[in-house]
Amino acid sequence: MLVDVLVLRALKIGDLLVAVPALRGLRRAFPRDRIVLAAPEGLAQLVALTGAVDELLPTPGLGALRYPGTPGVAVNLHGAGPESVADLLDTRPARLVTHRHPAFPEVAGPPWHEETHEVRRWCDLLTWHGIPADPSELRLALPELPSVAPDAVVVHPGASVESRRWPAERFAEVAGTLAAAGRHVVVTGSTGEIALAETVARQADLPDDAVLAGHLDLTGLAALVAAAALVVSNDTGVGHLATAYDTPSVVLFGPTPPDRWGPPADRPRHRALWAGTDGLRRLSTKDVLAAAEAVERA
């Protein structure tokens, strides 16, 4: 009998990408069933590239899950709090895959370990519930859309919060140094980061058309990163895209250590730079340029 597998992951780009191996594990475990991912509607283009989801159920966050029916299996890939468990229990699933929480003593699951890497966390959850998942399966499908700047160096100076942003003038110094060496450098960002991208490009003496912030949808951004020669970014979704496409990357981490959210430590084409929970500004342009050279050699 075919069932619906409802997966809750109503978060952002990076959160989706670290859950791809778990989604692949679910796809193998339920090859003929319908996998429905409850996630923000804006992620639809990336969800399609996972190859593991049949339908996106637009869900902007906790408390907003509206599932029309009763799933055979509900999977909590959202977080540790009781709200995500409650959201899924409200759908009355035949089976619930989640971590254990004291607010729901009747629901079985493994304990939550805060220090676990996010990729492994969700694979371990599924494995505990008898669904094997491989943390190395991070790759996305290539978009059909061609890159607007093949073989470029992609510089991404934005991040969702200030504590995760390396100073714009240092991104500009890195971008300018690489451009002076003959590299094609472009600067990406969201619509809200256009001014930041323009500042970096201007200080780096890049041409106006080097600013791609606000001009790419998620498919276009994925195509850009997939065909790039190098990505230099803060700890944000673009860094996870570089991992997904094995594009050489240097990712600068702020308060969150890379052993929680960073690229796999055994992949020499990716380098995470971290100087402690309050040490982002201690990272120098020399550090970043040296790491860029290392990952491109790898």
Domain membership flag for residue 137: no
Percent of the chain past pLDDT 70, that is, above it, reads: 100
Q: What is the pLDDT of residue 3?
A: 78
pLDDT of residue 81: 94
The widest CA-to-CA distance across the chain, in whole angstroms, is 62
Task: State whether 110 and 165 are in the same domain.
Answer: no
Note whether 23 and 77 are same-domain residues. Answer: yes
Could you tell me the pLDDT band of residue 1, with boundaries at 50, 70 and 90?
low
Residue 102 lies in a domain: yes
Assigned domain for 210 exists? yes
Strand locations in the chain, DSSP E? 4-8, 34-39, 55-58, 73-76, 95-97, 153-156, 185-187, 230-234, 249-252, 270-273
Q: Which domain holds residue 166?
A: 153-297
Q: How far is C-alpha 255 from the geometric centre of its chain's CA atoms?
A: 17
Domain boundary among the residues 93, 128, 163 is at: 128
Residues 121 and 158 in one domain: no
Residue 188 is predicted with a pLDDT of 98
With H, G, I as helix, E, B as strand and everything else as coil, classify residue 211: strand
Q: 234, 164 in Cβ contact below 8 A? A: yes
pLDDT in tens, 86-120: 999 999 999 999 999 999 999 999 999 999 999 99
* CATH code of the domain containing 85: 3.40.50.2000
Q: How far is CA 91 from the centre of its chain?
A: 27
31 shares its domain with 120? yes
Mean pLDDT of 232-253: 98
Looking up tokens 């791809």 gives 20
pLDDT tier, 2 (very low <50, low <70, confident <90, very high otherwise): confident
Looking at residue 149, its pLDDT comes to 98
Residue 98 token pair: 């989640």
Residues 67 and 201 in one domain: no
**β partners of residue 241:** none
pLDDT at position 83 is 98
Cβ count within 10 A of residue 281: 12
pTM of the predicted model as reported, rounded to 2 decimal places: 0.96
DSSP 281: G
In this structure, the answer to whether residues 165 and 273 fall within a common structural domain is: yes
pLDDT level of residue 125 (50, 70, 90 thresholds): very high
Is the residue at 133 inside a domain?
no
> Using CA atoms, how far apart are residues 13 and 158, in angstroms rounded to an integer?
14
114 and 166 both lie in a single domain: no
The answer as to whether 162 is a domain residue is yes
CA–CA gap between residue 23 and residue 19 (Å, rounded):
6
Number of domains forming the structure of the chain: 2
Within a domain: 148: no
- Strand duo 185-187 + 153-156: pairing: parallel
Question: Does the pLDDT of residue 218 top 80, yes or no?
Answer: yes
Average pLDDT for residues 152-170, to the nearest whole number?
96
Tell me, yes or no, whether 232 and 110 share the same domain. no
Instruction: List Cα–Cα distances, 240 to 7, 24, 131, 154, 236, in angstroms.
Output: 20, 17, 24, 13, 7
| pLDDT single digits (tens) 286-296 | 999 999 999 99
pLDDT 10s digits, 4-50:
999 999 999 999 999 999 999 999 999 999 999 999 999 999 999 99
Mean pLDDT of 240-263: 96
**Confidence band for 194, pLDDT divided at 50, 70 and 90:** very high
pLDDT class of 265 with cuts at 50, 70, 90: confident
DSSP type of residue 146: P
